[in-house]
């Protein structure tokens, strides 16, 4: 088997193809067309019909975890509970971020870095980003100025 593959060379095959193609022969174009047609036909046989048609539309199933007949008061109460949960989670994340910041400050002091200068730069960058965000933010509407507690008290109350 080694001898068979040793005698096959892609470069020699390309040279043979060029030599045969350059010889004047009236059958080379029809043979080329037939070879392309056979190759195309074989490839088309291996492509399943599913890939040539439009996929079926997906069946949509609606799953609701809420009751269909909830009142406006129940919806608002649920939203208020969720907002309280979200606020509590954000407070925990903020506390963790502050703890992480203090740990990095302690690490910086332990490695003799100028932590106070770094904190000042970080605060200046944070203040500049907040000022830019406030400058680019649209003017809040009166409804947006109401706090969550005020909204929940008015709606439920």
- Confidence at residue 86, expressed as pLDDT on a 0 to 100 scale: 95
| Burial of 155: CB neighbours in 10 Å, binned 0-12, 13-18, 19+ | middle
Q: How much of the chain exceeds pLDDT 90, in percent? A: 43
- Confidence at residue 8, expressed as pLDDT on a 0 to 100 scale: 81
pLDDT higher than 90, residue 142: no
State both tokens at 80.
């208020």
Confidence of residue 117 (pLDDT cuts 50, 70, 90): very high
Confidence of residue 54 (pLDDT cuts 50, 70, 90): confident
pTM, rounded to two decimals = 0.51
């Amino acid at each position: 088997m080694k001898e068979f593959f040793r005698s096959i060379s892609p470069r020699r095959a390309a040279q043979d193809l060029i030599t045969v193609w350059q010889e004047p022969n009236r059958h080379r174009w029809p043979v080329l067309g037939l070879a392309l047609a056979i190759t195309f036909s074989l490839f088309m046989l291996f492509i399943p019909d599913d890939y040539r048609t439009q996929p079926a539309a997906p069946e949509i199933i609606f799953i609701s975890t809420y009751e269909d007949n909830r009142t406006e008061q129940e919806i608002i109460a649920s939203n208020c509970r969720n907002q309280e949960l979200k606020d509590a989670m954000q407070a925990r994340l903020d506390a963790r971020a502050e703890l992480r910041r203090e740990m990095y400050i302690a690490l910086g002091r332990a490695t003799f870095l100028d932590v106070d200068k770094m904190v000042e730069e970080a605060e200046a960058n944070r203040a500049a980003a907040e000022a830019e965000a406030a400058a680019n933010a649209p003017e809040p509407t009166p409804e947006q100025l109401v706090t969550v507690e005020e909204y929940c008290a008015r709606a439920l109350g």
